[in-house]
Structure 1
Amino acid sequence: MGNNVFKDTWLMTVRNIKTTIRNPFSFIPNLIISAFFLLVYEGGLSGISQLPTFEGADYLAFILPVSIVSAAIGGAGGAGQSIVKDIETGFFSRLLLTPASRLAIVLGPIIAGMLQLLVQTLLIIGMAFLLGLNVKTGFAGVLFVLLIAIGWGLAFAGYSVGIALRTRNAQAAQAGTFIFFPLIFLSTTFVPLELIEAQWLKIAATINPTTYVFESMRTALIDGWVFWDLMQGVIAIVIVCAITITFAAVSAKGAVSRK
């Protein structure tokens, strides 16, 4: 049974990757937007790094996680869109009639979305290096940032797939993904937490898991191997993944039972 699940998951993942490659406009706009965030924010707000609170930190390294997380949201949304497309074309119903693992049918789009995110993140980090990015922790720090990005993308992908399975509607699935974009801006997006003056925004940033993902990446990029600061992002990802993947699994059972 275990081997069948792995084989089915592999086949479903490859299928979704091929579908994405055949339709590059499904991910190119998201990549462009993420690159736009990096260029505009670094160019227009880099003077903030002269404030004493930044302690001379590179603003490019500070703002880079924002571009990566925005890519994670867009990339994860593609997983849900893939499910919806299969539902609307009737392919999802045909899949349920095959011996294919139900878990694989759900995991395939999620893993494909994560791999898409990995490529996008590599391109964004490559652009950052061209702009002069300096990583305090070196190559190992870049790998850590990639792992955090993939983990956060997994969390969003689980939610996106869950919404897609429940609504079976492309517009609803897309709208469900967009509600995560405010999480980026209700966080330490442009300045550290201590520089946020509005009390309501500071409270929102404190309870926002995106804040800890940002801080974890920024620690690896700017401060070095500060264990607890790095682990806060990991813990936030584990908690959110547990919630969203469970949501996707429950939604998948509901989708199967409706057949």
Structure 2
Amino acid sequence: MNFEHRILNDEVGLLPVIIRVCCSFLFSILILTHTSGQSLQTLYSGLDKATGLYVTQNSVYVVEQGKDRVLKLDHSGKLLDTIGGKGGGNYQFSKPVDVDATNGLKVFVSDYNNRRIQVFDRRGQYLSSISASDAFGNNRPYNPTQVAVNGLGEVFFVDEAGNYIRRFDLDSNLLDEFRIPSEINSVDEMNVTSREILILDKPSETIHRLSLNGNYEGFYPAEDVKALFASESGVWRAHSDQVKFENRSKQRRVFPFSSKVEAIDMHVLEEVVFILSSGDLYKIRISE
């Protein structure tokens, strides 16, 4: 066999190896970006216009705006307690919108028509309110919608009346306030990490990125995104038939599920995604 024939045979012999390597590489990409269909488990149904969701290690909190209350469930969907009821006093709500339960020790609820953030302990007992007066005692009417608490316990909330985001410390003292940038049409969800504020703007199908002091930093496309959850590890997006995750290194994973749902809020805890619609609460396990 001459030299040219040996080279040709060597190349032919290497071809299956090359094909196997390429297939393995492509398969690894598919594993990274796609998983098999997942089944949605219904945890709680019959909600009356649910609008907000937060999950701790032990509990699930759901704002049921139609009944002016917050439900406290366990992770299996068992009802543990209810907080609130229609009214303007302590422990009462008028059009609650959102909830953030931090580490489970304090629960913050935006009380839209009563123009305050109400604060409860983990047993559902009323503690205090962040009211419409500023640091100088001046009355300032506002209507809080989305609320988020960072790792330091600072409370951020959207004031729809003034088109501001306001930031308070652990003792309910005003730390900062800034006007929502003109690039944002609607604040449908707001998440706060140690680095930035992320806002889901459904009309423009955009996730906006702000610094913690309100400077506009950029955006992500959010076509057909129904709900948003941001953590230190990355950003989760809920669509009608799948959940997508993108980490800080821009690696992506997709978790399709078998039935469609109109998500309005979501929360991710470890390997479980909780998805809220206006009438039902679902969860989906994403571990492989």
What is the TM-score of this pair, normalised by structure 1?
Answer: 0.23
Greater Cα radius of gyration, structure 1 or 2? 2
More helix by share: 1
More strand by share: 2
Higher relative contact order (CA 8 A, sep 6+): 1
